[in-house]
């Protein structure tokens, strides 16, 4: 869900490349039915989505890595300490004090309401990531 929403935010920007991976993902899995339905309702179709595990190659290519939770950050920093400086919590730069530094809950296995809550959180958090990246990242 986060990848599709972020892609939509930067769809007209050639200076962004967006991808996602998990720290404990089962490779090759499609998006959940609730994620797919919610994204379709927003006009975002990700029928080609397939889960994958985060790896060294992805991290080397990334300028920024945004994790959904503090546990994800810890897992990335433990497995790939050389990339720790580019890992941030997805809510870290949120404008709203109530959601800044909040973990995004993983709705996997829950009902649609949990997915809608995750959607609302991500829609509040993701624009601040674009603003942060625009302010701080310079092409080398």
In whole angstroms, give the CA distance from residue 35 to residue 90.
18
Q: How many CA atoms lie within 13 A of 113 on its CB side?
A: 0
pTM above 0.85, yes or no: yes
Q: Is 111 exposed, middle or buried (0-12, 13-18, 19+ CB in 10 A)?
A: exposed
What is the per-residue pLDDT for 46? 73
What integer best gives the mean pLDDT of the chain?
A: 93
In whole angstroms, give the CA distance from residue 45 to residue 43.
6
Contact assessment for residue 63 and residue 15, using Cβ atoms and an 8 Å cutoff: no
Q: List, in order of start, the domains of the chain with CATH numbers.
A: 2-135 (3.40.50.2300)
pLDDT top residue among 138 and 114: 114
Q: pLDDT for 31-90, tens place per residue?
A: 999 999 999 999 998 778 899 999 999 999 999 999 999 999 999 999 999 999 999 999
């Amino acid at each position: 869900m986060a990848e599709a929403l972020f892609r939509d935010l930067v769809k007209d920007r050639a200076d962004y490349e967006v991808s996602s991976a998990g720290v404990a993902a089962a490779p090759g899995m499609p998006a959940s039915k609730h994620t797919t339905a919610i994204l379709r309702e927003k006009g975002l179709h990700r029928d080609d989505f397939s889960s994958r595990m985060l790896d060294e190659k992805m991290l080397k290519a990334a300028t920024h890595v945004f994790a959904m939770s503090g546990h994800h950050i810890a897992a990335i920093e433990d497995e790939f300490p050389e990339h720790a400086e580019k890992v941030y919590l997805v809510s870290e730069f949120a404008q709203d004090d109530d959601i800044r530094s909040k973990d995004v809950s993983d709705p996997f296995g829950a009902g649609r309401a949990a997915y809608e809550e995750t959607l609302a959180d991500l829609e509040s958090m993701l624009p601040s990531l674009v603003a942060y990246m625009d302010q701080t990242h310079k092409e080398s």
